[in-house]
Amino acid sequence: MIPDEEVRLSRMVSGGGCAAKIGPGTLQGILESLPAFQDENLLVGIETSDDGAVYRISDELALIQTLDFFPPMVEDPFVFGQIAAANALSDIYAMGGEPKTALNIVAWPNCVNPKILGQILAGGADKVKEAGAVLAGGHSIQDDVPKYGLSVTGFVDPRRMYTNRGARPGDVLLLTKPLGTGIINTAVKADMASSQAEQEVIRVMTELNRRAAGILRSHQVHACTDVTGFGLAGHGAEMADGSGVSLEFYGSVLPVQPEAAEYARMGLVPEGSYRNREYLKDRTWVQTEEAWLEDIFFDPQTSGGLLVSLEESEAEAVEQEAREEGLPFAICRIGKVKERERWSICLTE
């Protein structure tokens, strides 16, 4: 048994958080070989790489199902549990739904005190409770690398659900959280991040998208997804390709966490960023000479914000309501939707 004082969760893994995802190119090749399932009530399945599956129960009710888990990227077990739970719950919000039930997913080394696992589960339960859902069980296995997450079920009116494939030319793109978590977490793991940067990235990752989703629910959203391991670029490309449009992002107004640009300039970039960049190279047009900005664009996020496509008048109303409600992070206008061009996504100055 490793002494508790010597346990450093983030040092037990090669990649933590959503940066540990299988690369998008590898994943696509695997998923293409799976059989297609046909059911008239399956409204959203595997085909569009959306945030969750949606199954219609009636004309007014559908189930959203999702799951997400990963290795730790922070040392505090309670905080890790909060982050993992917030990340999993976000998929429900990205589909326009409300989380209802959650199940724990656990992999745990037998050489680490199970009391530490208890703290992780307590952190996860804290966020499930904050989301207004109930924690109803789970499953655990022994593994050399600790991992934690949730399987979440939510409800949505199928007439009001969001997908990642409804963006329309002329729409405005909004983002509900700042970028840079992968880069800052890399700096933290290298013991090169300031305490302020570390505290801020935890604040970003533990914040539920619940309040932002509540504002969006009263507006006409054309497309929505949450920005996680494939970065703003990767999830933006999924939205662009699924909608048959191109997305243009304005680099000068992208919300970036403090010090993320500095760490990117120092080369503190997670491996997942390079996988994302390689996968998207033939679908991306970059019009900036700022290398750090490209790093932010491809940076794998953990428990990131919602990327939303909607008409400009609706976007203005959402921004105004967010200011009035005092959300912890501004809902920022970061780009626009264009008619389909030869590229899926564009990053400009």
Catalytic residues: 18
Compute the distance between CA of residue 121 and CA of residue 105 in angstroms, rounded to an integer.
10
Compute the distance between CA of residue 141 and CA of residue 48 in angstroms, rounded to an integer.
31
> Is 318 in contact with 310 (CB distance < 8 Å)?
yes
Enter the DSSP assignment of 36: P
Please name which of 62, 37, 64, 36 lies closest in space to residue 50, comparing C-alpha atoms.
64
Q: In what order do the strands lie in the sheet with 147-156?
A: 42-44, 53-56, 62-70, 147-156, 98-108, 134-142
Burial class (CB in 10 A: 0-12, 13-18, 19+), 3: exposed
> Is 132 in contact with 92 (CB distance < 8 Å)?
no
Q: Residue 98: CB partners within 8 Å, gap ≥ 6?
A: 92, 132, 154, 155, 156
> Is 249 in contact with 346 (CB distance < 8 Å)?
yes
